Amino acid sequence: MSFLSPGPLTSLHRPTRPRLFAVDVDGTLLTSHHTVTDAVRDAVETARERGSEVLLTTSRPPRALWPILEFLGLLVPAAFIGSQGGLVGSYSPEGHLVVLERHPMPLDLARDAVAAASRAGLAVNWFSGEEWFVSEMDDQVRREAEIVACEPVVTNLATLTAPPEKLLVIAPPGRAADLEDIVTALSAGVRAQTSNPTYLEITASAVDKAAALRDFCAGRGIAPEAVVAIGDGMNDLGMFRFAGTAVAPANARPEVRAAAHLITTSNDEDGVAHALEELSVPG
């Protein structure tokens, strides 16, 4: 029984042996309760045994990704793309971060973005390496801390001197339009993308998950047609355009499902596990 159904893109040519699965985390790999199932872990192991690399590609910062990587066994030399493409790294079994690439924002532009969000009355999350700083602890930040099981440090962001790989602004319910005002005020030197309707991810202008994935593959001689990208959010569409095969879980936003070659079951129905099992083939 197949758990994959054709997506709107009918010109799909499935790779006979994907060399790389680029997998989004929240809303894709994780259930709606922000957990990883045993079925997904087993499917990751199976895909790797069959010769495919599994690369988590996420807007999460490194420390919030560490427990997931540990559970899945995706430790050194396995890599990940975090902070919306701003950091590529790997974790040792002891939990030590090895930074492979880092693409921070210019410090002055980061401060300008903080000022724009502050004028809108919204808290700003500042991610630099494993550090998470926040301008204030509002309800949105508290909820994010619960989701990722990490605690930020409240500080005056204007005093920070280490530039961030990513800024995150989370709008309260009913205030998503405030994010558009922030985007309008941003410098041309930064890029803003929504990972869901109320999450605004801000990075340097040339940085996002797709750019990091492209560079990762180029450095390892992996052709785009040998890549399967799996994701549910608007910030995964760049990966979809790069990869030879794009897979969306059933819970993905309509625009994401419309850009997919294949639709798998939802994140609460082990959609990633089914995609890995059906698209990977024995080596």
Residue 142's closest CA among 130, 131, 153, 151? 151
Q: Right CATH number for 107-204 from 3.40.640.10, 3.30.9.10, 3.30.1240.10, 3.40.470.10?
A: 3.30.1240.10
| Residue-level pLDDT at 195 | 86
Distance, in Å, from the CA atom of 50 to the CA atom of 281, rounded to the nearest integer, reads 6
CB under 8 Å to 19, separation ≥6 — which residues?
Answer: 51, 52, 53, 222, 223, 226, 227
Whether 5-102+208-279 shares its CATH topology with 107-204 is answered: no
| Residue-level pLDDT at 281 | 78
| Residue-level pLDDT at 196 | 84
Task: Write out the H or E segment, with its range, that includes residue 80.
Answer: strand 80-82
| Identity at 90, one-letter amino acid code | S
CB under 8 Å to 108, separation ≥6 — which residues?
Answer: none
Q: Are 65 and 56 in contact (CB under 8 A)?
A: yes
| Residue-level pLDDT at 14 | 60
| Residue-level pLDDT at 1 | 47
Distance, in Å, from the CA atom of 222 to the CA atom of 190, rounded to the nearest integer, reads 28
Enumerate the β-bridge partners of residue 193: 201
Low-confidence ranges of the chain (pLDDT < 70): 1-2, 8-16, 282-283
Both structure tokens of 223: 């052709």
Distance, in Å, from the CA atom of 234 to the CA atom of 256, rounded to the nearest integer, reads 6
| Identity at 2, one-letter amino acid code | S
- How is the chain split into domains, by residue range? 5-102+208-279, 107-204
| Residue-level pLDDT at 116 | 94
Other Cβ atoms closer than 10 A to 178: 19
| Region 5-102+208-279: CATH code | 3.40.50.1000
Residue 197's closest CA among 223, 240, 235? 235
For the chain, give the longest Cα–Cα distance: 57
